[in-house]
Chain A
Amino acid sequence: MTDKDGPAHPQARLRRIFVESEGTMMRAETMISTAPAATTIHPRWVRVCHWINALAILVMIGSGWQIYNASPLFDFLVFPRQIALGNWLAGALLWHFAAMWVLVINGVVYVTLGIVTGRFRRKLLPIRPGDVVADMKAALTFKLAHDDLSRYNAVQNLLYTGVILAGVVIVLSGLSIWKPVQLQELTALFGGYDAARYVHFFAMAAIVGFIVVHVALALIVPKSLRAMITGR
């Protein structure tokens, strides 16, 4: 939209003048031409998928810890009953195999839309090691800027991409443990039944690690939490 197209909307003109003074005319034009929708940071489908996933993953982790306790992989690690879901093994399994449907169906919808709409490519790629190192340094010294929530920094790109991949691994290794006969080819891909249990465990550990960092950062930058609720 330029002045030659005819009389510009007064408000649009105002905004354009304002933004020109900031020296970011390109962005301002996009903002004006596509009107209010452009200010949406997270489209509705992202927010809905995010919170369904948050709920499902909490149930999966809580019940998974209880299941783990029935036959721990490591001598030094047993999860306290108070933070494990299901009361005992049968209850935990019922929770785990109920929430799995929510996690998987929601995950498939999310990943499909992420690819089809181009959101993953646009928001998460490319990930350059140099950017990651620079942004990591900035983050650790509290110098990382968060004024534009619609753009992820390189550390976010790395973590979000990583957790999506961990999600794929935890679902596939979980299927390998659940169905080591019917899906034995998949189980073999993970190195057999026993190895798949370790893969499943470490994918859980990676996701828990992500959640700790993710929640801490969302609380440090509360407007990012607001954006995931209201969209802007």
Chain B
Amino acid sequence: MRQRRTIPGVDPKLLIKDATRVMPDASRRSFLRGAASLGALTFLTGCDIIDGDTAESVLRKISEFNDGAQAALFSRTKLAPTYPESAITRPFPFNAYYDEDEAPQVDGETYKLEVAGLVDSKKPWTLEELHALPEVSQITRHICVEGWSAIGSWQGTPLSEFLKRIGADTRAKYVWFKCAEGYTNTIDMPTALHPQTQLTFKFDNKILPRSYGFPMKIRMPTKLGFKNPKYVVAMEVTNTDKGGYWEDKGYNWFSGL
């Protein structure tokens, strides 16, 4: 119950259940349900505008328009608010579309970060090499697409710094991430270069535990939680939008804050 006070509306034990609950059921016609509201809509317009793929494709088009609107609103220099250590949410919730004990177990000894795409050096990075990069720290608010939020403390190296070291072409449009369990994520280059976007190796000054994404997550306080991948094993600098796990299921692509 103490949790409930620190994160309004969130019971950490229910988080996993929530994630399952919001997962789409493949047998359902995706976004078009909701009998009463739709009934009212049909009543008001005098025609059935909700049926079929048309509504869904229109909604997706508007979502793409919203990607553009958010990109225009995004400031390369505006920082997400930061908080004192006393504001950190403890325990910080685990959240994924699978159970905590199903979270990927990555072996730090053999781990290598693969680098691909429009970069000068595609040499894979060992964890030791990554840990040797300059460290920055942030205490920022993680905001979930579901609405709840929690404040965490993350340490690592700015992604912009890493991109510089691998000789990335920062005129490219996207950076794509792949995770140990198969989760994927594409972000826009301006967000990748944002000063608070971080290759994260520690939570609260301790090496990331398995539940928070060991050995590496990408922390971006300017995007919703699901755009912050954990267990990252590969990245690619690219001009092709390769989508992502949740984006392909209907969450807005840009999902900026």
Contact = CB atoms under 8 A, between A and B. Distances in A.
A107 interface: no
A71 B8 CA distance: 9
Interface stretch (A12-20, A91-99, A121-129): A91-99
Task: Report the interface size class on chain A.
Answer: 35 or more
A16 to B, nearest CB: 42
Contacts, number: 145
Interface residues of B, number: 54
Contacts of A197: 8-9, 147
Nearest to B74: A182
A81 B34 contact: yes
Contacts of B144: 71
Most B CB atoms within 10 A — which of A62, A84, A194?
Answer: A194
A71 B40 contact: no
A179 B22 contact: no
Contacts of B45: 55
Contacts of A93: 145, 250-252
B88 to A, nearest CB: 15
B47 to A, nearest CB: 13
Contacts of B207: none
B18 A71 contact: yes
Contacts of B63: 94, 97-98
B66 A97 contact: yes
A58 B58 CA distance: 18
B221 interface: yes
Nearest to B28: A87
Interface in B209-226: 221-222
Interface string A41-61: 000000000010011001101
A205 B141 CA distance: 27
Interface string A75-93: 0000001111111111111
Interface of A: 51, 54-55, 58-59, 61-63, 66-68, 70-74, 81-95, 97-98, 101, 177, 179-182, 184, 193-194, 197-198
Given A67-B147, A81-B33, 14 more contacts: A55-B45, A58-B41, A71-B18, A73-B9, A74-B9, A81-B34, A82-B36, A93-B252, A94-B252, A97-B66, A180-B81, A180-B257, A194-B8, A194-B149
